[in-house]
């Protein structure tokens, strides 16, 4: 079986755009160094890939960014417009090392569903990501990217739910806010996601 590096949503809007994660840019160089040093069997870059009328965009509800509403019994945080399909903000950061054999996995395409995780949306609808990994004989995931307290968290939690051995590379992720990042760490540990530092990998 094999191991995969899963780089979550290191896109322009999350690095220095409309929904920039504090210090998000600093993960880029470390991700590049890691992939050159460790012979992963697969490298995946996930991307938020939203239609303009996505349900998570505050302007589509005439609400303020970072407010919330309830949709289908789930509380939905409303975000600034971000990672719209085919936009500059949705592109991977220009300094990331992306190779021809890498996989780009798109998520959040359904306008009616939030999808922080690469594996499933907030209603539990599967994206097919787990099946793609299994087809490539991957059983061990190393998750990093943006943001720790949202898409990295949910991707790692659902990786465990799908019975992948899962590591979260703590030095290669940044969170939106300190309180939610601390909560994310607690959730990861409770789910038996292993926290690791990239320099310790061999």
**What six digits make up the tokens of 139?**
């059983």
175 contacts 199 by C-beta, under 8 angstroms: no
Question: At which residue do the structure tokens 């465990």 appear?
Answer: 160
3-state secondary structure of 181: helix
**What six digits make up the tokens of 142?**
């190393």
For the annotated catalytic residues, the residue numbers are 9, 107, 151
- List, in order, residues 6 or more apart from 34 with CB less than 8 Å away: 5, 144, 169, 172, 198, 201
């Amino acid at each position: 079986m094999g191991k995969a590096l899963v780089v979550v949503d290191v896109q322009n809007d999350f690095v220095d755009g409309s929904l920039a994660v504090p210090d998000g840019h600093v993960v880029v160089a470390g991700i590049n160094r890691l992939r050159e040093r460790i012979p992963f069997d697969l490298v995946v870059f996930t991307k938020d890939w939203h239609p303009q009328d996505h349900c998570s965009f505050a302007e589509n509800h005439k609400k303020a960014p970072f407010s919330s509403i309830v949709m289908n019994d789930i509380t939905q945080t409303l975000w600034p417009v971000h990672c719209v399909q085919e936009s500059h903000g949705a592109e991977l950061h220009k300094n990331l090392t992306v190779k021809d054999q890498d996989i780009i996995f798109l998520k959040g395409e359904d306008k009616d569903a939030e999808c922080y995780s690469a594996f499933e949306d907030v209603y539990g609808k599967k994206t097919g990501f787990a099946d793609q990994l299994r087809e490539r004989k991957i059983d061990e995931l190393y998750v990093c990217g943006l943001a720790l307290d949202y898409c990295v968290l949910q991707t790692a939690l659902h990786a465990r739910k799908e019975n992948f051995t899962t590591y979260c590379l703590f030095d290669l992720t940044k969170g939106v806010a300190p309180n939610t990042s601390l909560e994310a760490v607690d959730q990861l540990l409770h789910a038996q996601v292993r926290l690791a530092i990239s320099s310790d990998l061999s």
